[in-house]
């Protein structure tokens, strides 16, 4: 006999990227058994409509859902993303790249970064990113699936996608509905609690009601259940990250899409450019303490290339995380759970991470608080790790040309970040938890791009015979650069593999 206390019905409130990812993941796990899933969303309210740059685990999600990657790319008009180019962050005129995948290869068990640091200290002028296949490919405007290039110098690269957010939600809706998810159109106007403080019933504007044993709040910044109904509270991180608004606009493409996201620092924030197959997403993230919406809009519109086809629209946000992402029988996923500015494209990742953990701690109808407690501890650790990584991009700046950048340069660092960077400064050693999103190569890339170097290198590097080492590095760099000649441009790759027949 199955557990009589098992969940019988789960209701998802909201049908943006979060709602439909949650629905698709649940439907996939349930295989039509266990519990019923109903998603309520309102076309009148709509979705946030931004969120178009992803990171490599997004493709693992697509694969886990048994979605064909090429078909998905076609349907959501995606382009490939090999990393992010950061312009003017450390100093004006300086650019660096945060690539996906390897940056060089380990040599005799030593991290490549350590070998590179020794080479630099010995006067060899190698740039770290010359050894990163994704960086070199991105700068050449080329693309090839790294797993189809085993044994070549680009095998260690990785990639993600730039996607059309609305099309992603539509695609996943089709996927979830085909697997039994019931969609209800309507506006939730009232949320009733039972005597345990659990959400019991939602009332829609037209009077219909929805009951469920468990609710997933994907209502975006409105946070209808987790905050408005349950009042779980919010940890505000605006003392570390000063931007609190964004202007977003879509433009026509000018030329073929570049295989990376651009993040260009501005006087009071930064702007993004996310190229898709059929259009480009643009935005300007800024601190309202230093800039008005009008000025931020003007700056964005001055910089975009191509005709504006949608927007500009203003998106206010508050950086931070819900104090309890799961409380009683409500779990918040997506913007309802918290938000850190999109500099490293982490929000969509946190959606499926949140669903992965949900399945790890799946409750029955009693929702044992121990499960929620552990879930909250794990998810808030992820949010904190991401916060620190984003703060790193700001607090290490050498810019002092505007009040915004002076405030970033002089800010108080979170203790957790301070400890990480102090450790790194000693000899390039990084604190790396096994379960962390950003691995050491990501930290090395950003630290290097922001002019942070360790005082020395790890002592074990001196085990490596120096004879031939530096000539070997030069050869590896030249082989990688030379290999680009044989690769198709990203546009050629898309035309050959990802276009409708």
φ, ψ (nearest 5 deg) of residue 297: -65, -45
Specify the residue, 188 or 367, whose C-beta has the smaller distance to ligand FAD: 188
Residue 312, preceding peptide bond in cis (omega within 30° of 0)? yes
Of residues 225 through 284, those in contact with ligand FAD by CB under 6 A are 246, 248, 283
Q: Which of 34, 193, 301, 315 binds ligand FAD (CB under 6 A)?
A: 315
Q: Are residues 204 and 286 in contact, defined by beta-carbon separation less than 8 angstroms?
A: no
CB of 339 to ligand FAD, least distance (A): 7
Catalytic residue annotation: 81
Q: Are residues 325 and 353 in contact, defined by beta-carbon separation less than 8 angstroms?
A: no
Specify the residue, 130 or 217, whose C-beta has the smaller distance to ligand FAD: 217
* Known binding-site positions for FAD: 15-18, 188, 335, 348
Burial class (CB in 10 A: 0-12, 13-18, 19+), 180: middle
- Inter-CA distances, 18 with 54, 379, 390, 469, Å: 13, 15, 22, 48
14 touching ligand FAD, by CB under 6 A: yes
Q: Which of 141, 320, 334, 414 binds ligand FAD (CB under 6 A)?
A: 334
Element (H, E) at 460: none
Q: Which stretch binds ligand FAD (CB under 6 A): 26-34, 35-43, 74-82, 148-156?
A: 35-43
CA-only gyration radius of the chain, Å: 23
* Known binding-site positions for L-tryptophan: 344
Q: Which of 110, 345, 396, 490 binds ligand FAD (CB under 6 A)?
A: 345
Helix and strand numbers (H, E) in the chain are 14, 21
Q: Are residues 357 and 379 in contact, defined by beta-carbon separation less than 8 angstroms?
A: yes
Q: Are residues 135 and 82 in contact, defined by beta-carbon separation less than 8 angstroms?
A: yes
Q: Helix or strand or coil: residue 208?
A: coil
Specify the residue, 114 or 319, whose C-beta has the smaller distance to ligand FAD: 319
Specify the residue, 58 or 413, whose C-beta has the smaller distance to ligand FAD: 58
133 touching ligand FAD, by CB under 6 A: no
What is the distance between the alpha carbons of residues 23 and 404, in angstroms, rounded to a whole number? 40
Helices (H), 326-399: 347-360, 369-395
Specify the residue, 316 or 369, whose C-beta has the smaller distance to ligand FAD: 316
Query: Which residues touch 162 (CB under 8 Å, ≥6 apart)?
Result: 52, 53, 54, 78, 79, 80, 81, 257, 261, 274, 275, 276, 281
Of residues 36 through 55, those in contact with ligand FAD by CB under 6 A are 40-42, 45-48, 50-54
Q: Which of 10, 11, 12, 18 binds ligand FAD (CB under 6 A)?
A: 18
Helices (H), 396-468: 403-409, 415-427, 440-449
Q: Which of 268, 287, 348, 476 binds ligand FAD (CB under 6 A)?
A: 348
Specify the residue, 47 or 114, whose C-beta has the smaller distance to ligand FAD: 47
224 touching ligand FAD, by CB under 6 A: yes
Q: Which of 11, 157, 188, 494 binds ligand FAD (CB under 6 A)?
A: 188
12 touching ligand FAD, by CB under 6 A: no
CB of 338 to ligand FAD, least distance (A): 10
What is the distance between the alpha carbons of residues 279 and 113, in angstroms, rounded to a whole number? 37
List residues binding ligand FAD (CB under 6 A): 13-19, 40-42, 45-48, 50-54, 165, 187-188, 218-220, 222, 224, 246, 248, 283, 315, 317, 334-336, 342, 345, 347-348
């Amino acid at each position: 006999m199955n557990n009589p206390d098992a969940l019988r019905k789960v209701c998802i409130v909201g049908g943006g990227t979060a709602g439909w990812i949650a629905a698709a993941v649940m439907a996939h796990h349930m295989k039509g058994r266990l519990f019923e899933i109903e998603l309520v969303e309102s076309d009148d309210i709509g979705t946030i409509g931004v969120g178009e740059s992803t990171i490599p685990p997004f493709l693992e999600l697509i694969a886990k859902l048994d979605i064909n990657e090429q078909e998905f790319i076609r349907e959501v008009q995606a382009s490939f993303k090999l990393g992010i180019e950061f312009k003017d962050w450390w100093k004006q005129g300086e650019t660096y790249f945060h690539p996906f995948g390897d940056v060089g290869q380990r040599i005799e068990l030593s991290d490549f970064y350590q070998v590179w640091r020794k080479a630099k200290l010995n006067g060899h002028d190698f740039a770290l990113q010359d050894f990163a296949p994704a960086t070199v490919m991105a700068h050449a405007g080329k693309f090839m699936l790294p797993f189809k290039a085993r044994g070549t110098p680009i095998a260690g690269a990785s990639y993600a996608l730039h996607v059309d957010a609305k099309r992603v939600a539509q695609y996943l809706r089709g996927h979830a509905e085909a697997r039994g998810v019931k969609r209800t159109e309507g506006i939730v106007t009232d949320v009733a609690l039972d005597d345990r403080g659990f959400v019991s019933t939602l009332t829609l504007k037209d009077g219909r009601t929805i009951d469920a044993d468990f609710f997933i709040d994907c209502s975006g910044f409105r946070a209808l259940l987790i905050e408005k109904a349950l009042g779980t509270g919010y940890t505000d991180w605006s003392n570390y990250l000063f931007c609190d608004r964004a202007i977003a606009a879509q433009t026509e493409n000018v030329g073929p899409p570049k295989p990376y996201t651009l993040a260009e620092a501005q006087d009071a924030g930064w702007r993004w450019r996310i190229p898709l197959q059929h259009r480009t997403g643009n935005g300007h993230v800024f601190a309202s303490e230093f800039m008005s919406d009008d000025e931020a809009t003007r700056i964005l519109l001055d910089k975009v290339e191509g005709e504006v086809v949608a927007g500009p629209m203003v998106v206010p946000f508050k950086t931070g995380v819900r104090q309890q992402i799961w409380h009683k029988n409500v779990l918040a996923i997506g913007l309802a759970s918290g938000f850190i500015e999109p500099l490293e494209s982490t929000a969509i990742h946190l959606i499926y991470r949140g669903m992965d953990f949900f399945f790890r701690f799946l409750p029955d109808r009693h929702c044992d608080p121990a499960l929620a407690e552990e879930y909250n501890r794990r998810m808030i650790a992820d949010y904190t790790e991401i916060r620190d990584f984003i703060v790193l991009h700001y607090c290490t700046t050498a810019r002092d040309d505007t009040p915004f950048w002076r405030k970033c340069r002089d800010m108080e660092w979170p203790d957790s970040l301070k400890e990480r960077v102090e450790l790194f400064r000693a000899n390039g050693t990084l604190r790396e938890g096994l379960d962390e999103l950003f691995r050491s190569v990501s930290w090395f890339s950003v630290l290097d791009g922001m002019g942070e170097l360790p005082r020395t290198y790890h002592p074990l590097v001196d085990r490596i015979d120096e004879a031939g080492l530096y000539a070997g590095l030069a050869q590896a760099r030249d082989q990688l650069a030379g290999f680009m000649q044989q690769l198709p441009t990203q546009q050629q790759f898309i035309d050959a593999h990802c276009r409708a027949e």
